[in-house]
Chain A
Amino acid sequence: MDYEAIFLTLKLALFTSVILLAFATPLAWWLARWRHPLRPLVNAVIALPLVLPPTVLGFYLLVAFSPNHWFGATWLSTTGSTLAFSFTGILIGSLIYSLPFAVQPLYNAFEHLDKRYLDVAKTFNLSRWLTFWRVIFPLTRSAFMTAVGLSFAHTLGEFGVVLMIGGNIPGETRVVSIALFDHVESLNYSAAHQLAFVLLVFSFVMLAILYRLNRKQLSSWT
């Protein structure tokens, strides 16, 4: 069993979902409140990874990570290493690739949140932080769970982007989907079966838990 690949995949998925949550929450909040003609355009940019072939995204990222590009060059001069074929590189790719999966559930929830709950909180003189923790978060908890669950699950199944920018370096960029592809290419079907089965069961269990929790929360409010 490719424990190393499984561990790396879980690490990548965990990092991606946690970082995305911190980043997507204010972004989704701002987008839901922003009234501007450019809003659909920004929404489209965020949703782009949903329809874009992962190889296209991977290709552009690979170009950006190259030391010939200002981004890659700046990274190299600051950190002393390149982003291409590194864990940080696939993490950045993963964050961009899964961004809509984190932003959209939160955006929908914030958009549909009854503004009057915030009005009541305001009359209680609640700070913004307390309003978030005590009012907004509990009222949109299911969207947060969906955002984390979907970005985690989506990262588990990531293949194209990782292949383009990460290659197949054990312990660094060789995630489960790449390892599986590798096993199939080398006709090692039993190892491929094992990994595919683990991925299948894990993804299924995660989604089932997610739906179960969401349903529980929804039914308690209706």
Chain B
Amino acid sequence: MDLTFTLEKDRKQLLAVDCRIPAGVGCIAIYGPSGAGKSTLLRCLAGLEEDMRGAPILWDKHEFCGDRVGIVFQDGVLFPHLTVRGNLSFALQHTPVIGLSHPLAEHSMSSLVNIFEIESLLELPVTKLSGGEAQRVAIVRALLNKPDILLLDEAFSALDKRLKRKLIQFISGLISKGLRVVVVSHALRELAILSDYFIHLEHGNVVNSGSAEMMLPRLQLDADTLSSESLGEPVFSLLAVEPALGLSTEHGTDPIKEFMLGEVRLYASSYFTIHDEMKIRVDANHIVISNNAPGDSSMLNQLPVFIEQIEKRTDGRCLLHMFTRTEAAPQRLYAIVSSLSIEKLNLEAGRHVYASFKAH
């Protein structure tokens, strides 16, 4: 699908977007510093800006069933003259008739209220809600209207860790059922879990865009030049794994889970289910590289990898672009190591090495 349009106001160009997004993308992430035009882009996609030249076409109708859009803002934008229940009922009253194949067909108001844990808030005026509560109600309100495309503008920013994880997983499940999502966020983790495609905006222009795999390592590099409130999170990789037999093995008080990546056994305390795939997160800073299999080590995860490229960063350290070497299909893995280590270990593109790491 082509996303090509410009937005002008008072003879000033606010936004110029030109992206070719491959078919099959379920969730698009928009990121960039404050004032880059992320929210404006979202408004354009929702059809809320009238001064556009060229219509942005998100997800052709032949690829997906409809073009009904739901939007969730960072502060909820709940109607202050209604209670929480009033806001939800408002959305319900204007819900269209949807087919059984719709990703939200099975979710009634009570099931969404349950999942988003807002039962106790239903009779409250929305002015009494905290930021996180308002965000949850706003997402439920948008979902109740059964959108085909959901636009999320920093919609999880005020949620606590547990709820954020739970609800992002839930939205991820909806994406795998066919809901299309565009998400604006400063939190790289949220974007990485949900999105297949990234658009990097700055000053109203697309600086870079591409698949998640291609764009993830760039995010940290970009973050060096962005403002501090931006993407100050480490680079990480998400490895698709299979559950090992006896998935949850309790080791004392530490609930370590076991997974398989090809023939290699991996250990992690948590995992994500992203579009029906089980993934574990590996921070690039937590990877130790060795030329030979490390043998006995407290780092239980040891993966044979292949170095594709060594990229020098502005801080003097290097980003290794690697691929796993197991019986399973190769997967990207990133590591950040010092230039000294590169020199001492004589690392170069094309080398076979071992990556040891602690997974979360």
Contact residues of A with B, CB < 8 Å? 35, 114, 116-117, 119-120, 122-126, 134-135, 138-139, 141, 220-222
Contact = CB atoms under 8 A, between A and B. Distances in A.
Nearest to A119: B48
Interface in B71-107: 71, 73, 77, 79-81, 90-91, 94, 96
24 contacts: A116-B73, A116-B77, A117-B79, A119-B43, A119-B46, A119-B48, A120-B79, A122-B47, A122-B48, A123-B46, A123-B70, A123-B145, A123-B147, A124-B90, A124-B91, A124-B145, A125-B68, A125-B94, A125-B96, A134-B90, A135-B79, A141-B81, A220-B127, A222-B127
A117 B80 CA distance: 10
A35 B125 CA distance: 35
Nearest to B95: A124
Contacts of B70: 123
B10 A120 contact: no
A119 B71 contact: yes
Give the bracket for the number of chain B residues in contact with chain A.
20 to 34
Contact of A221 (B80, B90, B145): B80
Q: Is the interface of A mostly helix, strand, loop or mixed?
A: helix
B135 to A, nearest CB: 14
B310 to A, nearest CB: 46
Q: Is the interface of B mostly helix, strand, loop or mixed?
A: loop
Nearest to A126: B94
Nearest to B9: A35
Contacts of B46: 119, 122-123
Nearest to B10: A35
A139 B79 contact: yes
Contacts of B77: 114, 116-117, 119-120
Interface string B32-47: 0000000000010011
A119 B49 CA distance: 10
A138 B79 CA distance: 9
A122 B49 CA distance: 11
Given A119-B71, A221-B81, 16 more contacts: A35-B10, A117-B79, A119-B46, A119-B77, A122-B46, A122-B47, A122-B48, A123-B46, A123-B71, A123-B145, A124-B91, A125-B68, A125-B94, A139-B80, A141-B81, A221-B80
A114 B70 CA distance: 18
Contacts of B68: 125
B69 interface: yes
Nearest to B43: A119
Contacts of B80: 139, 221
Given A117-B79, A222-B127, A123 B69 contact: yes
A221 B78 CA distance: 12
Nearest to B71: A123
B296 to A, nearest CB: 58
Contacts of A126: 94
